[in-house]
Amino acid sequence: MITRRTLCGCALALVCPRGAFPATAEMPGCAFFETDPNSQTSRGDLPGLKAMDLSQNFENGLVIVLSELRKLLQVQVAFGYYDDDIAYPNARALEHTSLSGLGAVSPIDGAVILGRHLIEQIRKKEQGTRNFGAALTAVCAHEFGHILQFKYIIPQLMQIEEPVTTRAELHADFVSGYFAAFRKRQQPEYPAVMQAMTQFRYGDGAYKPIDHGSPEQRGAAVYAGYQLGQAEPLNPEQVTLRGLEYVTRLAL
């Protein structure tokens, strides 16, 4: 049985070993997702942009995950890769963007672009485990959370109490948790705990400092979305609004 203790405790054990940080230390940012709801990224910001071509072994499974995300969240999203900065592995969610590097796809709701260095970083982190696919799923589900923000709640999100960026990222974590519940129903052996672990496992200080919230906040957001997904089936707009209610109530 997956509980909040499972989701938060396992992830914290990975990121914050006992005694790793003094009580007064600032936690390092776990920011390999550089997504700004207000940004309109041009092709020039995405060097090496290319659509998925199924040349990588992991892409067969990723195709299924992306199909499930599109169907469950009812969004039309283009997907591809780009050459992210090796110093700052990254993923991007773009609103209403048509990118020629993605071939004939004309996204209605946006695009999710993964950095090649980010993928390689995850691969190295998960080497020797069977969690690479689940970790990549968590990244994609988080970015699809931003697509839902673009579609349904950007005006409301921009008006909530600061820090808006942190609340937006925790909202995307909430959606990631909701998708984890769906995956768990479809695939009982799916390691849903990875949805929480992945979001801040890379917070070792080596990534660009964008405030996604503390490990405790991120684990709690994923678990809240997971609980919602277990409790009742909702349409995507309802999920998005419930997530907005959740992050609005948080004392950050």
Q: What is the pLDDT of residues 215-247, one digit of tens each?
A: 778 888 989 999 999 998 899 999 999 999 999
Helix (H, G, I), strand (E, B) or coil at 131: coil
The residue segments making up the domain with residue 123 are: 30-249
Model confidence at 196, pLDDT cuts 50, 70, 90, reads low
Is 25 inside a domain boundary? no
> Which of 9-23, 95-109, 138-152 shows the lowest per-residue confidence on average (mean pLDDT)?
9-23
Give the count of domains, the chain.
Answer: 1
Is 94 inside a domain boundary? yes
pLDDT at residue 7 is higher than 50: no
> Which of 28-32, 148-152, 153-157 shows the lowest per-residue confidence on average (mean pLDDT)?
28-32
Is 87 inside a domain boundary? yes
Model confidence at 141, pLDDT cuts 50, 70, 90, reads very high
Q: How far is CA 120 from CA 57, 84, 127, 195, in A?
A: 13, 11, 10, 18
Is 15 inside a domain boundary? no
Q: How far is CA 34 from CA 39, 91, 152, in A?
A: 10, 6, 20
Is 18 inside a domain boundary? no
* Neighbour order of strands in the sheet with 91-95: 50-51, 77-82, 110-115, 91-95
